Structure 1
Amino acid sequence: MRWDRLFDDLEAQASAEWEAERAALASESERVRLSRVSLRDRLLVLRDAQAQVGAHLTGGGGVEGRVVAVGADWFAVDRGPSSVSIVPLAGLTGLRMPHADLLHSAAGHAGQALRERLDLGFVLRDLARRRVPVLVELVGGDSLTGTVDRAGADHFDLALHDLDTPRHPSAVTGFRMVPFGALAQLVVAAGDSGL
């Protein structure tokens, strides 16, 4: 009888040690998995969940809304019925969201659709092709309005004019070459975004 208790005791100790070791391995495995999840992966989960976020931008600006698209180096936030903001990942200083969405986004995103590989230059070239008027907010706090004329690998050319005026040579007041690194966000009318 005493031997039975001894063996039961040893078995309980071994089981507890096994559970502790398994929990430690699972915890380490989760840390390794999380180390491979990128900000972009988390944004894709937030997009799929149609999560509301508050994006804090370089230069102190921000945008609130639902994540609607994610590309290779940018994401888009639906600001409501009137406009969409295109935000370069490099211009992001933080995201605010409910805790449940924060935890859910850590799951990461598997797979990659073609749209998710499109870079900021591709989006800007599309806006240039369609002659969409835009509001450009720069990292330094300045704002510009006009039409993207062309987009290169790391910059774009903007024809400056009022947002409510079509791009016509007589309406253009100047031109500006804008490096992608200076872009905090680009605001497009919701129907014109193409996202």
Structure 2
Amino acid sequence: MRWDRFFEDLQDQFDAEWEAERAILDTEGERLRLAKVGLRERLVELGRGDPAARTEVSFELRDDSTVTGRVSAVGADWVGVESAGRTGIIPVGSIAAIGLDHADMLRSARPGPDGRASLTERMTLGFVLRDLVRRRVPVTVLTAHGRALTGTIDRAGADHLDLALHDPGSPRRAEAVRGHRLVPFAAVAWVRVDAVERL
């Protein structure tokens, strides 16, 4: 009888050690999984689901400004944000921090199944800006130094854009243009589309 109890104690001890080892392995496995999750993947998760059900997040930018809205699209190096009925484009490189609630933080850390990136997810910032050039949409470009430039993007190169400056809300007409700026993509904190456009 004493031997039965001895073996039961050994079995209980073995089970407890096995559970502790499995918990350690699970924790380490989760750490390794999270080590492979990139910011872009988390942004994609924040943009999934019904647009009306998405919560607002705050993008704190390198120029100390904050853009608050819902993630509407995520590209290769940019994120689209819907805020107060307007669309904004934020280069991922200009994001200093993202404020979001705990539930969204946990949800975004669990990306969906691996699959092929959608066409939107493969588009670069230059590609999206060239689409705005084609549409002749008025924009406000906020630079990394906090300067707001309003106008229409005339051209978008590999790493910069050409902006014709004019008053917000007015169409780009030669007589309305009051100057031009070459703006490197690295200096763009965000681009607000001043017309009612959706990306």
Does residue 58 of structure 1 match 2:62? yes
Q: Is the 8 A contact 2:137 2:195 kept in 1?
A: no
Does residue 98 of structure 1 match 2:98? no
Deviation per CA, 1:115-141: give whole Å up to 9, x if none: 101000000000000000001101101
Q: Post-superposition, which runs of at least 4 consecutive aligned residues in structure 1 deviate over 3 A? A: none
Length-normalised TM-score, structure 1: 0.96
Partner-residue secondary structure (3-state), 1:48: coil
CA distance in 2, matches of 1:191, 1:142: 23
Deviation, 1:84, is 1.3
Q: 1:174 aligns with which of 166, 170, 179?
A: 179
What RMSD over aligned residues (CA atoms) do the two structures have, in Å?
A: 1.1
**How many correspondences in the alignment?**
193
Length-normalised TM-score, structure 2: 0.94
CA distance in 1, matches of 2:157, 2:195: 24
Aligned to 2:19: 19
Correspondence list, 1:154-165, <5 A: 154-165=159-170
Deviation, 1:153, is 1.0
Deviation, 1:52, is 1.3
Deviation, 1:190, is 5.9
Deviation per CA, 1:65-110: give whole Å up to 9, x if none: 11111000000111122x1111000000000011111111100243
CA distance in 1, matches of 2:89, 2:144: 14
CA distance in 2, matches of 1:161, 1:117: 32
Q: Give the aligned residue type for 1:12.
A: D
Comparing 104-113 and 125-134, the one that deviates more = 104-113
Q: Give the aligned residue type for 1:90.
A: G
Aligned to 1:8: 8
